[in-house]
Amino acid sequence: MRCDIFNFAKNHKKTIITVAGLAITSVPAVYYFLKNNEESSLKINEKWEDEYINKVDTLKKKHEYLLSAYSSVCQSRMKKYLLNIIEIIDKIYDIESLKKQVMEAETSGARAKAFKILGKTVIARDISFSIITSCMIFALECQANVIAHEMANQSKFNNSSNSVDSEALYIQTFLRMISLFISENNLKNITKKVNEIVFVDMEPVDLKKSFTKKEFIDTLVVLGKAVLRDNFFQNISDKFVSNMNFVRQQEIELVILFENYVYLLKNVCKNNLLELLVERYLTNFGFKIFSKIESDNCYYIGLIPQISETYNETAFQNGNLNVNDIICDIQKICYDKLTNKA
């Protein structure tokens, strides 16, 4: 066997040397071919990666630009809605009628009873205003984020029945939904739930109870948070998109926008930002009330008239309160949720 192999090698010596030489010299060629091919692939990958990053960056900048514009418009609209909210809440609570009952009470017992009702009612009014206004700010900001995201991604949809463009259609439809939220019937349902909680929690409080400024502000904040944690307020989106049948009757692009809108409202309200905004408003109410008293201590019976008298002034002041930090947090959450959802 070994002899056969030796003879074969001897007879084919030149061929074997040639083949071996080719094999040896081809190794660098193959190496350089693979290396160049790998470098070429890396360059292509880097190019695509750069283009992707640039595209994402462009979309983000476009989104930020549009969001800034839409958000500013929403905040401007909020000041107009504020007048409607104050007017409807005043009508619902009818504080002047309760004051009249206190004045016309024939006995001290009847007067004390009427005064306690007045106290619970003016506190409930402050809390109702704070919650309704906060919900409005959140809803408008979520709307601004949904529209900015849609327009930044250049999804062009046309409304076949109208000549308006997609942007105008989105804004017009969302404004209709906001108008439904601040309708008198809807606000009555919200204030009714606020009253149920506030009236029960404030019932044991004696008219002669002394409050420090901190104690009273803490009481307002605790009441506000107790209301928000009630099942009625667990899904804020239900208060803004209560009739999903109406939504499903719209064109498909609007249905998608509404779904994103509800998705944002649910996620934003999970981050305790709504509680934080309500707390800020109620704290401002408390400070304003005690600034009129010019003391850090006051009996509950002495606080009630001041709660009533400072309401309108503080409500308008709250409407101009700087809440940019909370709005920025809302925008960050919205952008993250919409981007990851996409």
164-195 tens-digit pLDDT = 467 777 787 788 778 878 888 889 999 999 99
pLDDT exceeds cutoff 80 at 253: no
H/E stretch holding 281 reads helix 273-293
- How high is the pLDDT of residue 66? 83
Model pLDDT for residues 287-335, shown as the tens digit of each residue: 999 998 878 899 999 999 999 999 988 988 887 788 889 999 999 999 8
Of 1-15, 27-41, 89-103, 231-245, which one has max mean pLDDT? 89-103
pLDDT exceeds cutoff 60 at 272: yes
Question: What angle (nearest 5°) sits at the alpha carbon of residue 153, between those of residues 148 and 155?
Answer: 100
3-class SS shares of the chain: helix, strand, coil, % to 5: 85, 0, 15
- How high is the pLDDT of residue 41? 62
**Smallest Cα–Cα separation from 268: which of 127, 172, 140, 152?**
140
What are residue 297's DSSP bridge partners? 212
Residue 147 makes CB contacts below 8 A (sequence gap 6+) with 66, 70, 167, 170, 171, 174, 257
Region for residue 152 given its phi and psi (left: phi exceeds 0; alpha: psi -120 to 50; beta: otherwise)? alpha
Ranking 53-57, 134-138, 209-213, 226-230 by mean pLDDT, the lowest is: 53-57
Model pLDDT for residues 68-80, shown as the tens digit of each residue: 888 888 888 888 8
- How high is the pLDDT of residue 157? 45
pLDDT exceeds cutoff 90 at 149: no
Confidence of residue 203 (pLDDT cuts 50, 70, 90): very high
Mean pLDDT score of the chain:
80
Inter-residue contact 155 to 251 (CB < 8 Å): no
- How high is the pLDDT of residue 183? 86
Tell me the HSE value of 140 on the side-chain side, using a 13 A CA sphere.
Answer: 26
- How high is the pLDDT of residue 298? 93
